């Protein structure tokens, strides 16, 4: 039977298992602005200012066809999942909302439902397919 040679050790310094290095990781996407950090906890006593940016290839949201679909989506989903939209402003490439939510989960579920309704309606009105919103919504708790 043939003998297998024993593995020889090389004198190398052990430096750990990788870790943070300059230039390591996935490259940043240009234009990505909303971080994926955990959203702040909410109180039902404080409203939230929410901003939704649409993709660059989407036509003006203030066009009559798109605006009507956005209004319909607000009417359908204005008070669901412990989430209420109290004020809204439609701009050419983004939406501003003042909303109230019982907690962080209510805000997430209410916004998800509202985003789906808006996206389906606007995409149908403008004869387009694909994602309508460019990124996650930005939320800022209004404490004063």
pLDDT digit string (tens) for 106-123?
999 999 999 999 999 999
Which domain, by its residues, includes 84? Answer: 48-141
Domain annotation covers residue 10: no
Q: What would the pLDDT profile of 28-79 be if each residue is shown by its tens digit?
A: 777 667 777 777 788 889 999 999 999 999 989 999 999 999 999 988 877 7
Residue 13 CB-half CA count within 13 A: 1
Within a domain: 41:
no
**Which DSSP helix (H) or strand (E) runs through 121?**
helix 104-126
In this predicted structure, the answer to whether residue 2 has a pLDDT above a threshold of 90 is: no
Residue 94 included in any domain: yes
- 97-103 long-range contacts, Cβ below 8 Å, gap at least 24? 97/49, 97/50, 97/51, 97/52, 98/47, 98/48, 98/49, 98/50, 98/142, 99/47, 99/48, 99/50, 100/44, 100/47, 100/48, 101/42, 101/44, 101/48, 102/42, 102/44, 103/41, 103/42, 103/44
Q: Is residue 29 part of a domain?
A: no
Per the structure, the count of domains in the chain is 1
What order of strands is seen across the sheet that includes strand 138-141? 79-80, 83-90, 94-101, 48-53, 138-141
Q: Is residue 2 part of a domain?
A: no
Within-domain flag for 77? yes
Residue 93: give its domain's CATH number: 3.30.70.1290
Residues of the chain with pLDDT > 70, as a percent, come to: 94
- Whether residue 7 is contained in a domain is answered as no
> Any idea which of 13-22, 37-46, 61-70, 128-137 has the lowest mean pLDDT?
13-22
Total-model pTM: 0.74
Burial level of 129, CB count in 10 A (0-12/13-18/19+)?
A: exposed
Please check whether residue 13 lies inside any domain of the structure.
no
């Amino acid at each position: 039977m043939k003998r297998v040679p024993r593995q020889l050790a090389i004198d190398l310094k052990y430096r750990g298992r990788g870790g943070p290095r300059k230039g390591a990781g996935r490259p940043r996407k240009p234009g990505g602005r909303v971080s994926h950090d955990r959203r702040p906890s909410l109180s039902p006593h404080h409203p939230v200012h929410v901003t939704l940016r649409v993709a660059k290839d989407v036509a003006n949201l203030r066009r009559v066809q798109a605006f009507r679909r956005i209004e319909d989506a607000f009417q359908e989903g204005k008070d669901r999942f412990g989430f209420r939209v109290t004020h809204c402003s439609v701009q050419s490439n983004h939406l501003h909302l003042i909303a109230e939510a019982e907690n962080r989960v209510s805000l997430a579920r209410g916004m998800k439902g509202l985003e789906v309704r808006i996206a389906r309606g606007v995409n149908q009105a403008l004869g387009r397919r694909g994602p309508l919103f460019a990124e996650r919504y930005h939320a800022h708790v209004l404490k004063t």
